[in-house]
């Protein structure tokens, strides 16, 4: 069964590892090409946009794709819209990790977008850790009185930056000890992040809770109307049901 896996997330990479070598499936992993040096992948892969809905429709036809798993990031809304419009009758599953939820002691300020996040930092200069990727940094140019510590996988485009910044390039997962040290050493007074969910980047939230640092949390976009699972096992079960193969058997009761 020819499966297109839209990736760029930990979950997509984990699913690719599960599919590698499974003769029932012919998977192709698709990456946007945002990360300059993507990690090697265990299944055939392609890189770069498809050219909107029309381009994706053509690709699905030419590659005779029989099922699509959209495992893009919860905030990659354009790709998710495009694939919903392009699939036609091809079965589509959304694989999306659950959102983070606050625990007692957390001081989270929920915001709908990065403009609201920048505004919520207030008029007094702060030392702010931004872990929001690279696309939306320009929103913070409107609040140039803060010192921004930007952590991203690749160095951001300098034209998009507020004036007072330091850049840390790093790829998760991040350990709690290291996150505590980062917040302490840089004197971080607020964190701005997106509700990405997952464990790889969650330690900063624990460190912030321990240290009483407020977190400005961009909320997830509204859920889309497509069949959805929250983990890789759910995606694998969905694929096996589509492929017509037997799902893994439960041990017989009493046996
Ligand atoms: P986006 O705004 O939803 O998509 C913008 C365009 O990038 C799409 O229209 C598509 O171009 C192309 N694209 C996106 N994902 C693609 C994929 N997996 N394969 C091929 N083309 C893809 O996406 P984004 O927010 O820029 O995210 C880009 C990638 O980074 C995604 O793969 C996502 O999973 C990953 N990522 C995003 C975030 C985030 O916070 N947004 C965080 C971590 C990882 P065409 O229209 O030309 O097809």
pLDDT tens-digit profile of 203-242?
999 999 999 999 999 999 999 999 999 999 999 999 999 9
pLDDT at 254 (0 to 100): 45
- Residue 195 Cα to ligand 1 middle (Å): 17
β strands within the chain, DSSP E: 2-6, 26-31, 45-47, 67-70, 92-95, 108-111, 127-131, 147-152, 165-169, 190-194, 215-218, 228-229
Dist CA 188 CA 171 (whole Å): 19
Ligand 1 site, CB within 6 A: 6-9, 30-32, 34, 49-52, 55-56, 72-73, 75-79, 82, 133, 135, 194
Cβ atoms within 10 Å of 137's Cβ, excluding its own: 22
pLDDT at 255 (0 to 100): 38
Closest atom, ligand 1, to C-alpha of 12: 34
Those residues with Cβ within 8 angstroms of residue 111's Cβ, 6 or more apart along the chain or in another chain: 117, 120, 216, 217, 218, 219
**Residue % of the chain over a pLDDT of 70:** 96
- Residue 48 Cα to ligand 1 middle (Å): 9
- Residue 76 Cα to ligand 1 middle (Å): 5
- Residue 1 Cα to ligand 1 middle (Å): 24
Closest atom, ligand 1, to C-alpha of 30: 19
pTM of this structure:
0.92
pLDDT at 244 (0 to 100): 75
Average pLDDT over residues 20-35: 94
pLDDT at 79 (0 to 100): 98
């Amino acid at each position: 069964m020819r499966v297109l896996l839209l990736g760029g997330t930990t979950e997509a990479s984990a699913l690719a590892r599960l599919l590698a070598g499974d003769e029932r499936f012919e998977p192709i992993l698709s990456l946007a090409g945002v990360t300059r040096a993507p990690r090697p992948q265990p299944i055939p892969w392609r890189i770069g946009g498809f050219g909107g809905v029309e381009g994706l429709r053509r690709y699905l036809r030419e590659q005779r794709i029989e099922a699509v798993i959209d495992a893009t990031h919860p905030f990659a809304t354009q790709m998710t819209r495009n694939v919903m419009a392009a699939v036609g009758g091809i079965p589509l599953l959304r694989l999306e990790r659950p959102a983070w939820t606050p625990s007692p002691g957390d001081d989270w300020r929920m915001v709908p977008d990065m403009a609201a996040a920048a505004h919520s930092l207030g008029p007094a200069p702060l030392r702010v850790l931004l872990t929001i990727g690279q696309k939306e940094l320009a929103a913070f140019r409107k609040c140039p009185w803060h010192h921004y510590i930007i952590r991203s996988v690749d160095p951001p485009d300098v034209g998009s930056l507020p004036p007072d910044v330091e850049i840390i390039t790093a790829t998760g997962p991040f350990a709690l000890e290291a996150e505590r040290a980062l917040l302490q050493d840089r004197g971080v007074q607020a964190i701005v992040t997106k509700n990405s969910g997952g464990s790889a980047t969650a330690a900063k939230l624990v460190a912030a809770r321990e240290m009483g640092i407020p977190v400005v949390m961009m909320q997830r976009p509204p859920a889309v109307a497509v069949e959805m699972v929250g983990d890789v096992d759910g995606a694998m079960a969905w694929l096996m049901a589509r492929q017509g193969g037997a799902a893994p058997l439960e041990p017989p009761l009493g046996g």
